[in-house]
Amino acid sequence: MPVRIVYHVLPAEAGWQVRRGRARRASVLCTSKKAAVTAATALAKGHPLSQVVIHAADGTITGDRTYDGSALAKRRKTRARVTKGQKTKARKAAKRRKSARQGVETRRKRAKAQAVKRSTAAKKAASTRRHR
């Protein structure tokens, strides 16, 4: 079973900070409490099981939010969908490039064949002129 990750939104000297667990350093520094809560929520949603504990300016706990990982699963599912779309897009682009290359090769082959026909016709005409 995954361990619960706890983020604390605490007052700091120059605004608000977000700390993970009992860390000494802040993960995020913000100027407003609202921005700090938003940042903590974003960090918490990146874990399968997490919690955001919100403190008041005096350090007392005013509330908390718990996340069970459904947001993480949804984000992973969305990423997979985007990746699949990107793969499809890449495959289509590769197919277009391949067909363009084949088209160029076909045009080159045709041009070469026409040149050979012209040179053969020119040789025949020249030999006919010589023999007259």
47: DSSP letter: S
**Domain boundaries along the sequence of the chain:** 5-68
Number of other CB atoms surrounding residue 127 within 10 Å: 9
For residues 38-65, average pLDDT: 92
Task: Give 82's Cβ-side CA count (13 Å radius).
Answer: 6
Residue 132: pLDDT over 60 = no
The pair phi, psi for residue 65, each rounded to 5°, is -135, 135
What type of residue sits at position 4? R
pLDDT band at 30 (very low <50, low <70, confident <90, very high): very high
Predicted pLDDT of residue 69: 75
> In sequence order, what are the beta bridge partners of 17?
10, 29
> In sequence order, what are the beta bridge partners of 11?
16
For residues 40-48, average pLDDT: 89
Residue 71: pLDDT over 80 = no
Interatomic CA distance for residues 120 and 107, integer angstroms: 20
Predicted pLDDT of residue 129: 65
Lowest average pLDDT, out of 15-19, 49-53, 68-72, goes to 68-72
- Asked if 8 and 19 touch (Cβ cutoff 8 Å), the reply is yes
Three-state DSSP class for 4? Answer: coil
Predicted structure pTM score: 0.55
